[in-house]
Amino acid sequence: MLIKDKVALITGGAEGIGRAIALVYGREGAKVVVTDCNDEGGEETVAMINQAGGEAIYLHLNVTSLENHEAVVNAACQKFGRLDIACNNAGISGEFRLTGDHTPETWQQVIDINLTGVFYGVRTQINAMLKTGGGSIVNIASILGQVGLEEITPYVAAKHGVVGMTKNVALEYGTKGIRCNSVGPAFIKTKLVNNLPEEVRNHLSSMHALNRIGDPEEVAELVVWLSSDKASFITGNYYAADGGYLAR
């Protein structure tokens, strides 16, 4: 088991990529702290982990609230004694519009969840990890943390920001035992992509060297490996789980 007896926290763990990460945390032996603002989905993820023989708890967390982050990390440390691993995964795509048509509201919503939410997460997680000698943080960015895509400027800006923030956390806390990396999925079979018309999904598939859309589990395996001691010399970097999308 890659992360046996470590305490691992996921944001946005109620479905999609976050649920897949939570399940692999559990399979690899961690005590899992599942968080989300969707309580029903979060509890479902916990039940799946416990049914598979793992150990997990659910805590409500809206990533836009610093108070929520602090309450969750305190509760996790009270229950399990420490925090070793965290993955800041919660995110939304936001509305698709040309840059000139985005409004302060459509911009701010995506920045609040996808960028400020990650900052509040790492800030809180770092301070807990420092008390027990360190840990490993993985922030979920996107291929759109490396390249652009029309009509989704707030998302592209937020994800590039996550990649930069990750580098700074690694620089500041490397000697204090904390590693921090970002992972960039390409198009992955979650709610948003699954609901698209077949011809759009075929077009999206063709943008990847592997000519298909990825599975959430294919992102989760990379995240959990990066979180583990197997990745002990790896920090401050961006890793794509992208089926070759960025090779073009």
Ligand X SMILES: NC(=O)c1ccc[n+]([C@@H]2O[C@H](COP(=O)([O-])OP(=O)(O)OC[C@H]3O[C@@H](n4cnc5c(N)ncnc54)[C@H](O)[C@@H]3O)[C@@H](O)[C@H]2O)c1
Q: Which two tokens stand for residue 219?
A: 């992102």
Residue 86 interacts with ligand X (CB under 6 A)?
A: no
Nearest distance from C-beta of residue 118 to ligand X, angstroms: 9
Choose among 72, 165, 86: nearest CA to 126: 86
Select from 54, 121, 161, 185 the one that contacts ligand X (CB under 6 A).
185
CB 200 within 8 A of CB 210: no
Q: How many CB atoms lie within 10 A of CB 20?
A: 25
Contact window for ligand X (CB under 6 A) among 35-43, 78-86, 122-130, 223-231: 35-43
Residues 237, 240, 241, 247, CA torsion sign: negative
Q: Which is nearer to ligand X, 38 or 50 (CB)?
A: 38
Establish whether 155 is a catalytic residue: yes
Residues 53-82 within binding reach of ligand X (CB under 6 A): 61-64
Q: Where are the beta strands (DSSP E) in 112-205?
A: 135-140, 178-185
Contact window for ligand X (CB under 6 A) among 10-18, 23-31, 51-59, 95-103: 10-18
Taking the C-alpha atoms of residue 199 and residue 106, their distance in angstroms, rounded to an integer, is: 27
Nearest distance from C-beta of residue 142 to ligand X, angstroms: 4
Taking the C-alpha atoms of residue 227 and residue 235, their distance in angstroms, rounded to an integer, is: 10
The catalytic position among 155, 173, 238, 245 is: 155
Residue 248 interacts with ligand X (CB under 6 A)?
A: no
Which residues, listed in sequence order, are joined to residue 35 by a DSSP beta bridge? 59
Residues 193-212 within binding reach of ligand X (CB under 6 A): 193
Select from 22, 56, 152, 188 the one that contacts ligand X (CB under 6 A).
188
Contact window for ligand X (CB under 6 A) among 25-33, 89-97, 99-107, 130-138: 89-97
Residue 16 interacts with ligand X (CB under 6 A)?
A: yes
Select from 40, 53, 175, 191 the one that contacts ligand X (CB under 6 A).
191
Q: Which is nearer to ligand X, 66 or 130 (CB)?
A: 66
CB 219 within 8 A of CB 210: no
The tally of CA atoms less than 13 A away on the side-chain side of residue 85 is 30
> Residue 138: what residue type?
V
Select from 66, 71, 77, 92 the one that contacts ligand X (CB under 6 A).
92
Residues 147-176 within binding reach of ligand X (CB under 6 A): none
Q: Cβ neighbours of residue 120 under 8 Å, at least 6 residues apart?
A: 63, 64, 65, 66, 69
Q: How many CB atoms lie within 10 A of CB 248?
A: 8
Binding site for ligand X (CB under 6 A): 11-12, 14-18, 36-38, 41, 61-64, 89-92, 113, 140, 142, 185, 187-188, 190-193
Q: Which residues are catalytic?
A: 155
